[in-house]
Amino acid sequence: MNENVVNPEIRNLKDFFYFIRKELRPKGKIFTPFNIISFPIILLGAALVIIRLLKGLGSVTNLSQEFPWGIWIGFDVMVGVAFAGGAYILTFVVYILRQEKYHPVVRATVLNGFLAYVFYAGAIFLDLGRWWNIVNPIIGNKFGVNSVLFLVSWHFLLYMISLFIEFSPTIAEWLGLKRIRRILTTLTIGAVIFGIALSTLHQSGLGALFLMAKDKIHPLWYTEFIPVLFFVSSVFAGLSMVIFEGTISHKVFSNQIDPEHHESFNQILIGLGKGCAGALFVYFFMKILILIHSKQWTLLATPMGTWYLIEVIGLVLLPCMLFFHGVRYQNLTVIKMAAIITMLGVIINRLNYSIIAYKWYVPLSQRYIPSWMEIVITLAIIFTEVWVFRWIVNRMPVLRESPEWVYEEKTLPKEIIIRKEVPKWKASVM
Amino acid sequence: MEINRRSFLKIFGIGMAGAFSGGLLLPKNSVGVTKNVEPEFYGILVDTTRCVGCRSCEAACAEANHLPIPDISDQSVFEKERKTSTTQWTVVNRYETEKGEVFVKRQCMHCNQPGCVAACLVKAMEKRKEGPVTWDTNCMGCRYCMPSCPFEIPKFEFQSANPKIQKCNMCWERLKKGEKPACVEACPEGALFFGLRREIIHEANRRIYQKPNDYFPHIYGEHEVGGTGYLYISKVPFEQIGFRTDLGTTPYPEFTKGFLYSVPLVLLLWPSFLIGVNALTKREEHKGGRIK
């Protein structure tokens, strides 16, 4: 696909539209198995979305007065945002700690994070009964400042902007806008710092939403530390997603990646695995502390207790040990397996808070089980996100090297530093 | 690290942005979370020993609030416990207890410090100074009020394209005109007693002290979830007549208070810490490491 990559010379608006029109055309094969499966689902999902908008939530969902939040919140938003956590962690590692080793995966992760927020947090839009009022907390009709959800909604918006700024130099490189790219790169570090602060708060904020459901969430899961648990779990959720998504991307888009990065990628995976192992251990330790302090271990003997142990032992401790093993013996297969188990664990954990351990006392016959239409719409959202991701990766320098001119610009000030002829501020490339 | 013009502006800018958003996103009325609402608002005492299950209150409520009028002569509704719904803001249930049949009217409890109000991100739910908790149309339909309500009162119209949250508003429109809520006026047995919350607590205590054999010595709602506008007295313990007695006395907004307090702190301290770390790691960049 590298041959398709063009280095556009955009001088005026006409060039710009010509370029965009050219890029909008599909690249690569159209009838791939993935397309054949995903396209009908996206179409069906779109039709169901229209029904939902015209006839109300009840027409496509199984939501009830007992269970007002279903998988669109419990899975799409809660899990989607946790998985998007990789963006704030990797930008922290690369831009704040300056671990250049992880630089090759930053762009894909930030893009993935941005799209996750747009699509999965966008699922909120479908879930809102009165979606036309979605701007109310932003425009001040009215500001419900005492609400955790107010904080989360503002943070979603601001964080999406931060992620877009972090990603924007890539778009500038794609369009060949040299001057604009230089300006956008200077914004990156600010966006990163702001983004990390926002992420800390809204990752934990999603957990804090459940604090007022004290009487409804099983005591093994309910603790005043839910926000901290959500934050820590977003670390390994995000990193596991980077391992998972990175592995797939490296297979699917392997022609975009130069051999040097192919090699370094394995080392990156091991590094990420190390991070996951640490975060999982911290999380496990916290879970144990909370359990001991709550003095509720007698509940472990109940059916919900078994379910709790499956989550904590099977989906937290087990992948934690697998990660340690994989890192110790440099075994990538084990690391990838552990990443998948971790992701499963995060899905189960978020569903527990929103659906499974939520009102655990309600008998199964009256419980919420998602309708096929809710699942189709969720799948359609995921597939659309993958389509957009693929479209961008095939066109912009996300996985492949930036165009030559980016390096040309950088070498100049670097040489000058060596000659020590210019004041330092000119050389500060962020 | 030398501070030069550019990095000064950068740090200054980020700092200001942090400070601004800290101020903006800070729970401004943090006091609102903690302040003890002076219980000088109206409430209603439900004396379940006087209720005969005539359901006049249901009919009056439906009429006053333009809801479908129920057939109150239909006794079959008592066969199973009903919950309030989008079309019934109040329902009367019958319970078989150790001391015989007890009828209990249920509706929004109008908490002193309601979870639903703290949950609402657009203040569509509001605790009015007269006492009622009301809903307004600037609601987004996020339904966060539903899991946040200890009594599961807000009901959402899932079948509508223009859905509303339906719940008792203590006839707020009537209160403003100086009238009593419709259900109170309709009750033929005097089971509903309307007044300032302080007064109805006195009245409840008076009834319990005067006839200690007729009442279980507890006023449900005096302290539950920090106190509610509706108060109940009964001849049997409250778990026998469909009340949750495990809710505690902490007002629900208190549960999110700690988290909300940490927000401005994190928004100010985190960025400064990150800027510091970023500055410390800076030198390495010039030594080696390719910049991308």
| B175-190 pLDDT per residue, tens | 999 999 999 999 999 9
Contact B21 A158 (CB under 8 A): yes
Residue with tokens 């980016």: A406
Residues 103-122 of B with CB under 8 A from A: 115, 117-122
pTM: 0.88
Buried b (16+ CB within 10 A) or exposed e, B224-237: bbbbbbbbbbbbbe
Q: Is B25 touching A (CB cutoff 8 A)?
A: yes
- pLDDT tens sequence for chain A (430 residues): 444 455 566 677 788 888 888 888 877 788 888 999 999 999 999 999 999 999 999 999 999 999 999 999 999 999 999 999 999 999 999 999 998 899 889 999 999 999 999 998 778 889 999 999 999 999 988 899 999 999 999 999 999 999 999 999 999 999 888 889 999 999 999 999 999 999 999 999 999 999 999 999 999 999 999 999 999 999 999 999 999 999 999 888 888 887 777 778 899 999 999 999 999 999 999 999 999 999 888 999 999 999 999 999 999 999 999 999 999 999 999 999 999 999 999 999 999 999 999 999 999 999 999 999 999 999 999 999 999 999 999 989 998 888 888 877 665 444 444 434 434 444 444 3
Beta strands in chain B (DSSP E): 42-47, 91-97, 100-106, 125-127, 133-135, 155-156, 165-166, 192-196, 230-233
B271/A194 CB distance under 8 A: yes
Place of tokens 């400042």: A145
For residue B28, name the pLDDT band (cuts at 50, 70, 90): very low
Contact at CB, A146 and B21, closer than 8 angstroms: no
Mutate to test the interface with B, among A126, A187, A215 (most CBs of B within 10 A): A215
Q: Is B162 on the interface with A (CB under 8 A)?
A: yes
Which of A273, A349, A292 minimizes the C-alpha distance to A316? A349
Helical (H) or strand (E) element with A318:
helix A318-328
pLDDT per position as a tens digit, B112-126:
999 999 999 999 999
Q: For A136, which residue in chain B has the nearest alpha carbon?
A: B122
At residue B14 the predicted structure's pLDDT band, cuts being 50, 70 and 90, is: low
pLDDT of residue A127: 93
Question: What value, to the nearest 5°, has the Cα angle with vertex A127 and ends A122 and A131?
Answer: 80
- Listed residue (B109, B131, B135, B137) closest to B252, CA to CA: B109
CA A302 vs CA A203, A308, A358, A396, B238: distances in Å: 30, 10, 16, 53, 27
Determine the length of chain A: 430
pLDDT digit string (tens) for B251-276?
999 999 999 999 999 999 999 999 99
Residues of B (28-57) whose Cβ lies below 8 Å from A: 28-30, 32-33
Instruction: Report CB contact under 8 Å: A410, B291.
Output: yes
**The tokens of A131 are what?**
């979606």
As a whole number of Å, the end-to-end CA separation of chain A is 30
Closest C-alpha among A93, A149, A38 to residue B140: A149
Q: Is B95 helix (H, G, I), strand (E, B) or coil?
A: strand
Å between B11 CA and nearest CA of chain A = 9
Give the per-residue pLDDT at A86: 94
Distance CA A108, CA A174 (A): 15
Residue from A76, A109, A211 to probe the interface with B (highest B Cβ count within 10 Å): A211
> Taking a C-beta distance cutoff of 8 angstroms, is the pair A86, A109 a contact?
yes
CA dist A189 → B20, B126, B228, B288 (Å): 18, 41, 50, 19
Contacts of B25 in chain A (CB under 8 A): 145, 151, 154-155
At residue A80, what are phi and psi to the nearest 5 degrees? Answer: -55, -45
Q: Who among A97, A128, A141 is closest to B277 (CB)?
A: A97
B209-218 average pLDDT score: 94
